[in-house]
Structure 1
């Protein structure tokens, strides 16, 4: 590729990017202004991360992907909103391929027997303009327990790439894995598990 061609290609790329409106100029950051309706989980930009304290040395991280589900969002009366999410547990990933394979086995998640984790909300309560608590039931490893998500609204608007109306939230929670029958190496690998979730949802109607 010649220098002239390279410069032309770079210039074309810059011009193409300049036609996309910056996200900050088109997203809303006030939760009361979100469009109400039915939303579907957008799996490519939804991440479910977890961390445990590993032998008292480090906080070790992993993640799940390819979530699916629905959000019935009522911006005017948030208590009427409903959320249901399904997570394929075999999507688990860590920085160690050996550990990733081990986590799928019978000592840990036993994904052959329990392929999915689910969360179904039971109540939504606003605690600030852009923050809420969502109570619900988490089913993991064949066990269902109540869990509370602490949710923060990030932003909403038309995605400049695919032109779909999208809204996003961050959420955190803490669970004890032994409550769900996953007890391997407790307490050396902590019973307490911190969940960090980045959820993207696309409006369907």
Structure 2
């Protein structure tokens, strides 16, 4: 079989890359719950590995849960001055997901979140208080459904280390936040569906250049 000069040139060009050994996966997770691994700097939320889960009582029979995704935000952090850290988070309301496609559609309509008029929820920190066992309280303002109220996230440092997705350090935190949804004009269904809502947050951050 005669190989054309053009094909031969292409094979020569790609041969070195093809001969390279495949990238080796690390033998252990690159992140660990060691605060000494935290590098001071500016970070951005890594949306593909950040989740916001909500949970509330449904008719007294069960705890009903759902998710928000596509979260964005920034974190400015210096481990030597944790109290100076700044956090800002934005959650797209239209990303809401439950086990019911019909409910997903209903929740973004005007009777509930009204995502067309209020497309995002935001949290902006005002004060950070470090605590024991890698815990911290993050006070701030939560804006939801067009209303803003003080809120506090109970945050736990989960881990830090060299990023596998970026060029710098990756860090992660777990958070808990409780709210009364009626305070934000979202009281439909109370008390059959509880007013009290628990948010669980898994947040991954990538260091920025």
Please provide the CA RMSD for this pair: 1.5
Q: Which ranges in structure 1 are unaligned for 5 or more consecutive residues?
A: 1-14
* 1:46 equivalent in structure 2: 50
TM-score (norm 2): 0.86
TM-score (norm 1): 0.88
Q: What SS does structure 2 have at the residue aligned with 1:40? A: strand
* 1:97 equivalent in structure 2: 101
Are 1:204 and 2:179 counterparts?
A: no
Q: Which range is displaced more, 154-163 or 123-132?
A: 154-163
Structure of larger gyration radius: 2
For residues 22-69 of structure 1, the C-alpha deviation after alignment (integer angstroms, 9 at most, x for no partner) is: 344x32312254101100011000000001100000100011011111
- Contact 1:20–1:160 (8 Å) recurs in 2: no
* 2:92 equivalent in structure 1: 88
Q: Which ranges in structure 2 are unaligned for 5 or more consecutive residues?
A: 1-20
Are 1:31 and 2:35 counterparts?
A: yes
Which among 120, 131, 137 is matched to residue 133 of structure 1?
Answer: 137
Q: What SS does structure 1 have at the residue aligned with 2:104? A: helix
Count the aligned residue pairs: 189
Are 1:20 and 2:2 counterparts?
A: no
Pair 1:108–1:28, CA change in 2 (3 A): same
- Contact 2:178–2:198 (8 Å) recurs in 1: yes
For residues 158-193 of structure 1, the C-alpha deviation after alignment (integer angstroms, 9 at most, x for no partner) is: 133555421000000110000000011000000000
**Which stretches of structure 1, 4 residues or more, deviate above 4 A after TM superposition?**
161-164
